[in-house]
Amino acid sequence: MRQRRKLWKAPASVAFVVVIAAAAFAVGWRVSRQQSPASTAVTLAQHTDPKGLASSLSTETVDVFGGSMAHGWADPHDDSYLKRAFAARQQSTNTNYHIVDRTVDGGQADYFETEKPGLYESDLKTDKPQIVVLSWGLLNDMHAKSSLAVFDSAIHDQIAKALAVHAVVLLVTPPVTEASQKGDHPMQEVYIAHEIADAQAFHSKNVYVFDVYHQMEAYLKAHHQTWQNYYGDSWHPDAAGHALAGALLANDLVTAFGSGPIRFTS
């Protein structure tokens, strides 16, 4: 396993995370990649079930593709905004969500097309997901100066291949960070606009866009906060930032799917 970069700052306390997550609901991982699906798969909320209620619940497999932010960097338990959103949804629905973390630390959106061709298709074949989440952090793409043509092609290919295996696709923009709010902000807006347009171009009832980035911007403005309140390091939110972004996404999932399962529609 390749080594991770050292984080810049220790994450916030657990107590602070709980406070921020509660407030959010009130208003509404090229460095390493796990090789074994068994080691990356997590069924959320594993608990004692003396009455056998679990037998009446449906289970949906969720494949998560993205970079270190989608993995949960700067959270002490790698508990990303994506994992948090599905954990919250699981608590209020009759569906268990089996998260398979296929993220690539330091990866760009075209990782599966240029560096590891065939791996994305292999992951889909192995995991057989009902849901595919694409949530690239975008900063890696910007700093590698990936062309927008290559970026667009990668997003399009990943969505098309997920649809081909009858998975619902959720394109989720990343949380706010110091870098995306300062020097990288103009290009962040460009890449976000492109990936949203790429998804919407399918005109598919099985492709959903959840713009967490701009929702989080609006939340910070409304509460007189900035990225500094959720700083993990320059490129990642801390645990509280993951909690806030996860709460916003959880609300989006309720709005889009109610309390029912997330299923592909033919």
Answer whether 89's CB lies under 8 Å from 254's CB: yes
DSSP line for the chain: -PPPPPPSSPPPPHHHHHHHHHHHHHT---------HHHHEEES-----TT-GGGGSEEEEEEEEE-HHHHTTTSTT---HHHHHHHHHHHTSSEEEEEEE---TT--TTIIIIISTTHHHHHHHHH--SEEEEE--SHHHHHTT--HHHHHHHHHHHHHHHHHTT-EEEEEPPPP-HHHHTTTHHHHHHHHHHHHHHHHTT--TTEEEE-HHHHHHHHHHHTT--GGGGEEETTEE-HHHHHHHHHHHHHHHHHHHTTS------
What are the structure tokens assigned to 213, written together?
């980035």
What does the domain layout of the chain look like in residue ranges? Answer: 29-43+57-257
User: Which position has the higher pLDDT, 45 or 182?
Assistant: 182
End-to-end CA separation in angstroms for the chain: 40
The helix-helix angle for 148-164 and 185-200 (nearest 10°) equals: 40
User: Which position has the higher pLDDT, 48 or 98?
Assistant: 98
Query: Does the pLDDT of residue 40 top 60, yes or no?
Result: no
- pLDDT reported for residue 1: 30
Which residues face 132 on adjacent strands? 63, 169
Local confidence band at 27 (pLDDT 50, 70, 90 cut-offs): very low
- Highest mean predicted confidence (pLDDT) among 29-33, 76-80, 165-169: 165-169
Domain 29-43+57-257 fold: Rossmann fold (3.40.50)
How far is Cα 135 from Cα 133, in angstroms, rounded to an integer? 6
Answer whether 169's CB lies under 8 Å from 231's CB: no
In b/e form, how buried is each residue of 13-33, taking b as 16+ CB within 10 angstroms? eeeebeebbebbbeeebebbb
**How does pLDDT run across 199-221, given as a tens digit for each residue?**
999 999 999 999 999 999 999 99
Longest Cα–Cα distance of the chain, Å, equals 55
Report which of 219, 81, 186, 88 is spatially closest to residue 229, judged by C-alpha positions: 219
- pLDDT reported for residue 57: 80
Mean pLDDT, range 129-156, rounded to an integer = 95
DSSP line for 101-142: E---TT--TTIIIIISTTHHHHHHHHH--SEEEEE--SHHHH
Please report, as a single letter, which amino acid is at residue 25: F
Q: Tell me whether strands 236-237 and 207-210 are parallel, antiparallel or unpaired.
A: unpaired
**How does pLDDT run across 158-170, given as a tens digit for each residue?**
999 999 999 999 9
Cα angle 132, 138, 139 (rounded to 5 degrees) comes to 145
